[in-house]
A and B are shown apart, each in its own frame.
Chain A
Amino acid sequence: MSARIEPISGRYVHLEIEGRPYRIYFEEAGSGIPLLCLHTAGAHSSQYRHLMCDDAVTDRFRVIAFDLPWHGKSNPPVGWEGEEYKLTSQFYVAAIAAFSQAMELERPVVMGCSMGGRVVVRLAQEQGASLRGVIGLEGSDSPSPWYDNSWLESPEFLRGDFCAALVSGLVAPQSPDEFRWETLWHYYQGGPEVFKGDMHFYRTDSDYARESSTIDTGHCPVYLMTGEYDYSCTPEDTLRTAERIPGAEAIIMAGMGHFPMSENPAAFRDYILPVLAKIADKD
């Protein structure tokens, strides 16, 4: 087998979020319209590696993804050892804004998956004028829990292999084994209780259903793309959200689960390329 180097580059940026310094890891590839990608709860930016290696995307888009603090190769803040990690809606939005400003992303398209697919609804509502559009993968405007909140107090959330097993059924049966297990490995890698900390945002601090109808999709188009097999953000959750946002487009992806960009990159490509083309052509 001959060696092959991918076109992705990874670097670190030092910035402040809510007045506190952070060292943030990010990866990027391509040039053109900034396409800022947000990873799922408990995971990291590697989920977008396939998009970053696809010429059909990187010819027109600068695909850029960062690891949230506590995730992947981004540090927790200094003093973390005495704190409990709990992602809030306010901090999540501030982190995205801080990264966008630090990287001087001009009117980016923001695409997030799962909790990232949730927060883009708030971004579209509050900052739509400064965005080229948002894509919510497995996204909806409000929580739709599928297990009891008491489970979050279980010590199992200290363990990555538990977090992986908790979400394993969200990968569609059609997805190739190689990418199923790579997707789950991201959960094995998570720091203790980081996934749980993200659940604070995803399950209790991200109900945007009352405000989502005020999004101006004329300025900021909203695409909601959800896998047929997703029982965390169900197709019904997504369709209901799209009904509340005038002009939003919902796309249900057949044979797909909760992690489209990483669990089945070839199938996801067929769905995402037309959406990206629409955004680029509008521009």
Chain B
Amino acid sequence: MKRLFSLLGFLILTGFSVIQAQDVTFSGRVTDAATGEELIGANIYVEEMKNGAVTNLYGFYSYTLPKGTYHITYTYVGYSQRDTVIKLSGDLVLNIELREEPKTLQEAVVTGEKSDKNVSENKMSVVTIDVKTVKKIPLLLGEADIIKALQLMPGVQSAGDGNTLSIVRGGNVDHNLVLLDEAVVYNPSHVVGFFSVFNSDAVKDFELYKGGIPAQYGGRLASVLDIRMKDGNAKKYSVSGGIGVLSSRLTIEGPVQKDKSSFLISGRRSYFDLFFPLSSATKNAIANFGDLNAKINYKLSEKDRLYISAYTGRDRLGFSGIAGFGWGNTTTTARWNHIFNKKLFLNTSVIYSRYNYQIDFNIAKNLNFQRKNYIEDISIKQDYTYYLNPKNTIKFGFWNTHHTFLPGRVQPITSESIITAAALPKKRALSQAYYVSHEWKPVGRFEMEYGLRLSVFSNIGNGREFVYQNGQKNYFQDGSVRAGNIIDTINYSRGQFYHTAANLEPRLNMVYRLNSSSSLKASYMRMAQYLHLIQNIAASTGQEFWTPSTPAIKPQISDQVAVGYFRNFKDNSIELSVEAYYKSMKNTVELIDNADISFNEAIESQVVAGRGRAYGVEFLLRKTKGKTTGWIAYTLSRSQRKADNINHNDWYNFRYDRRHYLTTVVTHEFNSKFTLAGNFIFATGNAYTAPVGQYTLNGKVVALYSDRNALRIPAYHRLDLSLTYTPKVKKYKRFQNERNWVFSIYNVYGRKNYYTLDFRVDETTGQNAAYKTYLFRMVPSVTYNFKF
């Protein structure tokens, strides 16, 4: 580790040595001329330097070069290029507005960033899809969904048919960090996973890192999904929305003070429960979700900008007056951008995030209760970017979070209830992360970014930990791992830091450009995860919960290396990438067989520390320009787990291990009115545990199981199609009215894809049988979208 620090210091000092006394800096923000939205990833190219800069997440850029006259070009795909000549005799602030190209001139694009990004950028294992493209992809029930669109890219797989929970490069569902305006979203699903919580109308930009994750991110093993909400139109008011078969959405945005502040409010509500009264079987059922995004930003000065954004969403599922469960995320982020000078940019954020779930059970006046659980975070983070010179950019900062966990609280609903009030003690923890990274461009063809993240996780009192007999939180007996016997309890006082774990997480990304159209890239990352999702069924029902690392549950650690070859063809209109990765994981949280996680304070007794390995090759070929666009993605991969006394101590397949995963997305624009789009997906079936025998107990047949996840369900495949009809834009006196109709069919040929495979006795024959459950067969939908 000492060597690592020495190397880091040397490299940073080497970078500093190239500073020249006569250099000047031009900097500023690049925004959309129509809406004032800052453009993330816009390209600034300096002709004389044959080099340039890219705007950051807040549309800010900075470039340092010698005094002189320069030809500067600002580009952002889908927007008209702007050329300007500047004479630099001193530092200069240059804020630029770019205009969206008229639709007739605009080529359909997959990404909204620089055209040779695939080859030139020092980023690999990163997935971006333009939000406009997401809206053209045919998806379940016509609901544009950024997570489901991501699941069509290599290395990202759905946890089930129509499910928004994702498996990234063989990681668990909880190995993905999902951020909405920097706030952690602990459950990104509505309706037990069939919809994501992200309303695409409120999303400006998103990026998924499945490898090579920069040092400013951490806390999960597999991926980071960084979603940025729109700021709101700073130029004029607009209303947009969509009316779908089962849900609708509405967004209102506009200036509070023109060009100084703006707001956005976007809401969504499902209404499929309106159909429930039509059937006697469902007339008392409740199943709905809703969410609301809001954001306001204010330009305090040329150097200071304030953003406040919030999200809240809620799901309800149950039967009226009898029982039900609900869950929801709430987040709030207050951000302050400050430009110290032309080279130093600071973002400070204060973030609140809460995920709660609740179960109501009220079947009689004396048999009822309500159970609640939650995780609540309050964070403060700072991210500094120092644009030292065109060859060196330093990023550093910290992210500290106070976590509060309520594992469970039960209260009777009525005073007559026989259920006693009870609560598992709250848990508290402080997670701290400090990072520094250096983007270094030593020679024209080679770039690297290396960084180091120090993560520290402390359990804080008041709290208590159990002491187990023989120091064993669980033990192996008669073929099963069983919970250990608690022999004592250690109590910790309020505010006492009673256990701390720390990890150094090095990160590295490198690119070597072979020529203008091809490059080689490599990355390495170590990730540490201190929060773990305890879940013993695949679907989200409120029984699952997050728990912190403790003295008895070690942090999960992963190391991933990846290498890739990137090539563009035909003037960057066709992109090819091939990436290979290997990821090893340790201390993965594996539930013991027959784990009892319901209202169990001694949760550490129900898990064992496991190991994991995942490796694979990902191919992506995509066409980004022309009337026909889209991509073909193929992943060949394997993911396995191992844990003491589980599966006879042998490696076993991860449940979502899929050897082959192929996706094809094609969009063809016939003319300005009609666009046809289609997806095809083929995936190896999930691994599952099957019975190898049977026996009879008390007159009932019981299955005898052998190896874990040893068999596979048949392959999954489906075709989806959509047709978008966009009528000619009507011009009114005060505003333009844009609208379109999207007709889509999910699973066109109606394949009964296995969702699950169950084994039970056939009631008609009395013999054992296997049953598959399938969900969606040929689901048609129509959505009307509007904007004025």
Bound pair (A, B): no
